[in-house]
Structure 1
Amino acid sequence: MLDNFLPPLNDHNLPYPDTIHPIVVHFVIAMVLFSFFCDVTGYFTRNYQLYEVSWWNMFVATIAIFIAIIFGQIEAGLAIAYDAVEPVLNLHTLIGWSLSGIIAAITGWRYVIRLSDSKKLPLPYLGLGFGLTCLVFFQVYLGDQLVWIYGLHTVPVVDAAKEGVL
């Protein structure tokens, strides 16, 4: 009965033409990494205008990561997660949700810093930015594995899973 209300799934096992999560999440990745780059560059060059660029990148990234997570959850739920892929998918999901909280908290801290003195950035904030950058790179690595090694939402893997090969 519920099938009458749901759109049909295509050859990628999705109700829309292709995955949306990677598009949105690459936007988040770029903004977080560029924000850290602006912070470090601004710190060493004393170009404090870069701090403003960094702030707005983190602000938008904080909003965009939740959109990325929504589509990530939808697409993970529709993925045919065979046994070999489940640990990587679960870790990617856990880190993704954690990153949403971490990015929101860092953005909140950055807002407080911005209000108190927009021309100073404490070294612990830069250290945390470096840690966030490392975590983002690890998350990218996991996402790359899901697509390029395990082939989630690729036509050959979807077909193989539907035929019972996986």
Structure 2
Amino acid sequence: MPLLPLNDQNLPYPDTIHPIVVHFVIAMVFFAYFCDVAGYLSRNHRMFEVSWWNLVVASVAVFVAVIFGEFEAGLAQPYAAAQPALDWHTVNGWSISAILVAITAWRGIIRVRDPLKIPVFYLGAATFLMCLVCLQIYLGDLIDWVYGLHTVPVVEAAKQGLLK
């Protein structure tokens, strides 16, 4: 028996929090990447500073997103068809968290050593991170728009035993 009563979305609060926080993280990672590429191409070192602070905040916020994602996934009662997408979304989310923190640390070292430029190898790693984020967006869309976890009709169908 849950400590708090669950609503019609199978949540103890009015709506899912994970998507709100994760969209914030996605926007910050995309903007940091854009600023690094623009700064690299234009040689405008001020763009690197914007990128740095976006990465720092995203590195903290990503763990809030993952924590709420884990909590809400645990309450979702996923059915068999949705489980693989949810599993890959979970693994990829934890991977992105670790890679984002590593890239942020690397970016911090680059910033201390020479704040006026970034190496092309760093941009390659950031591009890899962007690819993982795009995959994560796809998996999140599957979970929400295709499998409908935490939507009222799917929660009701699961409670009635209609989903296996």
* TM tier, smaller: over 0.9
C-alpha offsets along residues 136-160 of structure 1, whole Å, 9 cap, x if unaligned?
0000000000000000000000011
**Which residue does 2:87 correspond to in 1?**
90
Q: CA deviation at 1:80?
A: 1.4
Distance 1:87 1:138 in 2: 14
Paired residues in the alignment total 163
Distance 2:36 2:13 in 1: 38
**Which residue does 2:96 correspond to in 1?**
99
Q: CA deviation at 1:164?
A: 1.0
**Which residue does 2:140 correspond to in 1?**
143
**Which residue does 1:80 correspond to in 2?**
77
**Which residue does 1:7 correspond to in 2?**
4
Question: Which consecutive unaligned segments of at least 5 residues does structure 1 have?
Answer: none
The residue correspondences of 1:85-164 to structure 2 (distance < 5 A) are: 85-164=82-161
Contact 2:43/2:117 (CA < 8 Å) preserved in 1? no
Distance 2:124 2:117 in 1: 14
| Structure 1 runs, 4 residues or longer, greater than 6 Å off | none
Q: CA deviation at 1:85?
A: 0.6
Distance 1:21 1:111 in 2: 27
Query: RMSD value over aligned CA atoms?
Result: 0.7
Q: Provide TM-score, normalisation by structure 1.
A: 0.97
Q: CA deviation at 1:120?
A: 1.1
Other structure's SS at 1:37 match: helix
Structure 2 counterpart of 1:51, which letter?
F
Other structure's SS at 2:5 match: coil
Structure 2 counterpart of 1:91, which letter?
W
